Amino acid sequence: MNIVSISGSPSLRSRSALLLQLAQTRLEAHAHSSHLIAVRELPAQALLLADTQSTPVQRAVAQLADADLVIISTPIYKAAYSGLLKIFLDLLPMDALRGKTVLPLATGGTLAHLLALDYTLRPVVSALGARHVLDGVFATDAQLVAHTSGGYVPDDSLLERLDRALQPLLAHPVHASRPAALERAA
């Protein structure tokens, strides 16, 4: 299973990035390869001007093309996924997720936006061709407690929900429906 993780938070110290890292770490034993695309580390000029020729952007697109599983993690901003993530998704070819399985993750300040992943991110990844969008995991800030070291500590209930969400992937590691190289040549 080739895994690509996309972090859509603009923050260096990021709850949603930690949630992503927790998921990635749990799946690593089943992964043939694992790459992280931290959108905040891509060149701002390339993102804002939709420069698909930028080398770091092209590298990210190529990593995605080879992925079987794409884990997307975002903070909820204004009841939707982050604008930073949107800018990145807008750079992708229309079939960038064709045949792939997608696991959405999000963190937000309030449970009121629990469904934001379903009504904002799910339609976009489906439009990009995702074959299967797994049930996502939404964590509130209170479930990722700030630690004096500068990081965050997940509470037990969040870890349980994350493990449940990952269970289908651990039981049956996914493979994109066609080899990525054939997909690109088509």
Give the binding site for ligand FMN (CB under 6 A): 9, 11, 14-17, 75-79, 107-110, 113, 141
If the CB atoms of residues 27 and 144 are measured against ligand FMN, the closer one turns out to be 144
Q: Measured from the CB of residue 11, what is the shortest distance to ligand FMN in angstroms?
A: 4
Q: Measured from the CB of residue 75, what is the shortest distance to ligand FMN in angstroms?
A: 3
Cα separation of 107 and 9, whole Å? Answer: 10
Q: Which residues contact 84 (CB under 8 A, 6 or more apart)?
A: 8, 9, 10, 39, 40, 47
Q: Measured from the CB of residue 123, what is the shortest distance to ligand FMN in angstroms?
A: 18
If the CB atoms of residues 81 and 176 are measured against ligand FMN, the closer one turns out to be 81
10 Å CB burial of residue 174 (0-12, 13-18, 19+) is: buried
If the CB atoms of residues 78 and 147 are measured against ligand FMN, the closer one turns out to be 78
Q: Measured from the CB of residue 24, what is the shortest distance to ligand FMN in angstroms?
A: 15
- Which alpha helices (H) appear in the chain, and where do they start and end? 15-27, 44-48, 55-65, 83-91, 116, 122-127, 156-171, 180-185
If the CB atoms of residues 159 and 168 are measured against ligand FMN, the closer one turns out to be 159
